[in-house]
Chain A
Amino acid sequence: MTAMPSEDFEAAYESLAMAIDSAGPEREALLLTRLALVLGHQLGDIAVFKSAIRTALEGVAE
């Protein structure tokens, strides 16, 4: 798997921020969960998906 070029990654970051805002505080959790399921399915690799969850969870979970 290749990482995104930094310009594209910046665009990804911006789209995500705007999507969270357009979902609104009530629905942002649902949006992010849906996003994760869609990406996870497209990724097609459970090990990579789980490791991404670990990375995201670091410093967030109590």
Chain B
Amino acid sequence: MRPAGKGPLDSLYFHYPHFPARHVPELDGSAVRYPVVIVGAGPIGMTASLVLARYGIRSVLLDRKDTFNDGSRALCVARPSMHILERIGAVKPFLDKALGWRFGRSYYRGEQIFRLEMPHPPGEKYLPMYNLQQQYIEQYLHDAVAACGLVDMRWQSELTGIECGNDGVSLNIASPAGDYRLDADYVLAADGARSPVRTQLGLRMKGENYEGKYVIADIRMDHDFPTERRAFFEPSGNPGGTVLIHKQPENIWRVDYQLREGESEEAALLEENIRARVGAILGDIGHTKPWELEWWSIYSANTLCLDDYRHGRVFFIGDAAHIVPIFGVRGLNNGLADADNLGWKLAAVLHGEADEKLLDSYSPERRGATLDVFANATKSTRFMTPPTRGWRLAREAALSLSLKHEFPRGLANPRQMQPYTYSESPLTPWPMRDAEFAGGPASGSFPPNARLADGHFLLDRAGDGLTAILFCDGSPGDEQAALLARLGQLDRRFVALPVALQGSAPTAGAIPDTDGEIARLFGAQPHTFYLLRPDLHIAGRWKALVADEILETARLCLGRATS
């Protein structure tokens, strides 16, 4: 919502483009069958189109709106998402505009009780978190979509019907330029929380709704405070409710505040009440200068998801598949990982390189990630909006003890988004090899990054297909070299990253590990071998070379028959 007298797109800082409906070939009777149609050009649909484009796959991308999101909505982009944006060639404007951060503070009745410090190891390329309004996120993704040449973007094009067959899907599209039918091999439903695709297919999300309601207000003010997450429990400016404050680019600040139990939603959303509440909260943080109201909305936490993110040839990604509480900033980030996960698999299948079976791993992997998010988010949601007297009392006891004691302070930790570990996936067949390692990243997890002598980062060198990180004395030995050759035959995109252990003389192409840091990060010794998937998650790791297991893992990830 926006202040009286303003239209839904009258922003203080963002200029909304208007995208016309195009006259598409289908309106002239063309009946092309497309490999992929993506319904919904929110952040997740656009990202999916770019992941596919990275592999040369064309897609049609539909959205019923004529511009970007009307309000800020998601604003925190986590480190793993930055890696996804980097790989689809879109990260630069994000880095230029977004505000990176890693610290936070929690207060109880005005006193600081917890200092959040998100880990930022020296080898990491990106900060743990970046704040950027969702309109910019969409604009930058859209710029990349427009530049890539493989995405047929159709604004003002609404899906009105869907019919699933055994070997294809057909869609009815309505647009101001005319109505038409589209045929596709695969459909990605990225049509958001109220997903019409989901409804039309008669599918329902299951899970919980939480009681607590939050108002989300974006304001503009000159306010001197670093980019940190601030959480206020029992502040005098919003008695009985929690407050969160985040900084965004363009002097925009996000103020989230919890409504008191039994408070009327309708009244809370009236402009005068928003102004009074935000004013009191700002008074609390010592801001006495003027401020302007940009946009507001109301929010309550849900943990809802589909039982299966796949329905034949239709795949659900982003909010269409799952709705997660915003505490811990997972809505957007979780969806970006869906798009990345599905994108490389679908591309391999459409290129005829992988068996369709590869697609079976999408739902268990990403639904597993959602359930993990639920487990964490349920904890933080219960802390942010205690549902009953018991939870409220326990929280008050813990928070009040936190003023003088260290031990309960961790309960106020917002448990920010962590990338999920695909350790139980069918594509991670040898997790038991983890037991051989004393340290380093587990099978299925997202690997640590390392700064290289040339100023670049280890993960910059990873390829579009499988990537091997192998540790050797100077250069790969005969056995290692033979395995690398076989992996290269299996995967035309395969990239090998030999790391020459500390003290050995690296041959051309090997990455010198001068101070031993890379080996330490990966818990490696000579012959240690990590196999990374196209989304950089670790498909498997072996302390010493076990060629059969490595080849089998590679075949599984490539969707090839295993012997």
Contact = CB atoms under 8 A, between A and B. Distances in A.
Contacts of B405: 38
Contacts of A50: none
A34 B396 CA distance: 9
Contacts, number: 22
A37 B408 contact: yes
A33 B407 contact: no
Interface centre among A29, A33, A36, A38 (most CB of B within 10 A): A33
A30 interface: yes
A41 B397 CA distance: 13
B400 A38 contact: no
B393 interface: yes
Interface in A17-62: 29-30, 33-34, 36-38, 41
A41 B400 contact: no
B401 interface: yes
Contacts of B401: 34, 37-38
A36 B398 CA distance: 10
Interface SS of B by simple majority: helix
Contacts of A38: 401, 405
Contacts of B393: 29-30, 33
A30 B407 contact: no
A44 B497 CA distance: 46
A41 B401 CA distance: 12
Given A37-B408, A41-B407, A30 B398 contact: no
B394 interface: yes
Nearest to A31: B397
A33 B396 CA distance: 9
Contacts of B398: 37
A17 B314 CA distance: 64
A34 B407 contact: no
A38 B407 CA distance: 9
Q: How large is the interface on A (under 10, 10 to 19, 20 to 34, 35 or more residues)?
A: under 10
A31 to B, nearest CB: 9
Interface string B365-406: 000000000000000000000000000011011101100010
A34 B398 CA distance: 7
Q: How large is the interface on B (under 10, 10 to 19, 20 to 34, 35 or more residues)?
A: 10 to 19
B379 to A, nearest CB: 16
Contacts of B408: 37, 41
Contact of B400 (A29, A34, A36): A34
A36 B394 CA distance: 10
A43 to B, nearest CB: 12
A42 to B, nearest CB: 9
Nearest to A37: B397
A34 B397 CA distance: 5
Contacts of A37: 394, 397-398, 401, 408
Nearest to B411: A37
Contacts of A34: 397, 400-401
Nearest to B398: A37
A38 B398 CA distance: 9
B399 to A, nearest CB: 10
Contacts of B400: 30, 34
A37 B397 CA distance: 8
A51 to B, nearest CB: 18
Contacts of A36: 397
Contacts of B397: 30, 33-34, 36-37
Contacts of B407: 41
Nearest to A34: B397
A38 B408 CA distance: 9
Contacts of B394: 33, 37
Contacts of A33: 393-394, 396-397
B389 to A, nearest CB: 9
A28 B398 CA distance: 15
A23 to B, nearest CB: 12
A37 B395 CA distance: 10
B403 to A, nearest CB: 11
Interface in B257-285: none
A29 B398 CA distance: 13
Interface in B403-457: 405, 407-408
Interface in B309-348: none
A4 B400 CA distance: 29
A30 B396 CA distance: 7
B187 to A, nearest CB: 47
Contacts of A30: 393, 396-397, 400
Interface in B223-266: none
B393 to A, nearest CB: 5
B529 to A, nearest CB: 39
A55 to B, nearest CB: 18
A38 B400 CA distance: 12
A38 B396 CA distance: 13
B520 to A, nearest CB: 32
Interface centre among B397, B407, B408 (most CB of A within 10 A): B397
Given A33-B394, A38-B401, 16 more contacts: A29-B393, A30-B396, A30-B397, A30-B400, A33-B393, A33-B397, A34-B400, A34-B401, A36-B397, A37-B394, A37-B397, A37-B401, A37-B408, A38-B405, A41-B407, A41-B408
8 contacts: A30-B397, A30-B400, A33-B394, A33-B396, A36-B397, A37-B394, A37-B408, A41-B408
List the 7 closest pairs (A to B, CB-CB), nearest first.
A33-B397, A34-B397, A41-B407, A33-B393, A37-B397, A34-B401, A29-B393
